[in-house]
Amino acid sequence: MSKVTLIGTRLASEGQEFVFEGEASGCAGCPYRSQCLGLSPGVKYRVTDVRENAQVLDCAVHDAGVQAVEVEPTSVPANVSTRNAYAGSKVALEGPCPHTECPSHIYCEPDGVEFGEERRIETVIGEPPHDHCELDRDLTLVEFAAEE
């Protein structure tokens, strides 16, 4: 189910993904506020369509203005404990990881998922991109279902 919203023109391209962080301080008093703030904070979205001939509107947050796009919540790839990695099960992330240079770090701390939050596994992808986990975690790469 897609929603129409306004996002920065630099982000307004089909396939672009972002996590909606909620209202910024520059939103106060904006006449377009209700059109921008109709998304759920903390949810990851994907732009599914950029409205043709959409007017670029001035914005206190986005320096190049905003324009209308259609977005949908999107799935999130993540590393979870192998013992819990089954399609359809609900799991939480294993916890923070200080090893930012690891190729799996973006999956151990994915955008759009909070630590302690249980999410439903849509698909089990398989082996994570790292050779060895520095925290000795036994991890499997999965795809969390998009949030409703």
Residue-by-residue pLDDT tens, the chain, 148 positions: 789 999 999 999 999 999 999 999 989 989 998 898 999 999 999 999 999 888 999 999 999 999 999 999 999 999 999 999 999 999 999 999 999 999 999 999 999 999 999 999 999 999 999 999 999 999 999 999 998 7
**pTM for the complete prediction?**
0.85
Q: For residue 128, what are the contacts with CB-CB under 8 A and spacing of at least 6?
A: 79, 104, 107, 139, 140, 141
Q: Would you call 35 helix, strand, or coil by DSSP?
A: helix
Q: How many residues does the chain have?
A: 148
The confidence score (pLDDT) of residue 147 equals: 85
Angle CA 8–9–13, to nearest 5: 105
